[in-house]
Amino acid sequence: MKKLIIYALLAFAGWSYYQKNIAQTQIVTQVEPQAFQAPVTALTQPAQNFTCDGRQHCSQMNSRAEAEYFVRNCPNTKMDGDHDGEPCENDSRF
């Protein structure tokens, strides 16, 4: 009886592994042809003319784009507390 249970468990594990690999293969074959299509050109936003003028806090910014510019290009900003590159994450205006 123990051998029967062991064989059943091995068969179930093999079947599960097989099904998992078949599903992954189908996903890969569905995704790969799309990877070779021509890239879609993104619409560019009009150029923003921001300048570093000493502002440091989110409350002083008028847009998220402005805050991102300040974090990337201006010294002593205090808008990205966790240093992940996203300024003003808790500001509900943006």
Cα 62 from chain centre: 25
- Higher pLDDT: 53 or 20? It is 53
pTM attached to this predicted model: 0.47
Inform me whether the pLDDT recorded for 32 exceeds 80. no
Provide the terminal-to-terminal Cα distance of the chain, rounded to the nearest Å: 65
Q: What is the mean pLDDT of residues 40-60?
A: 75
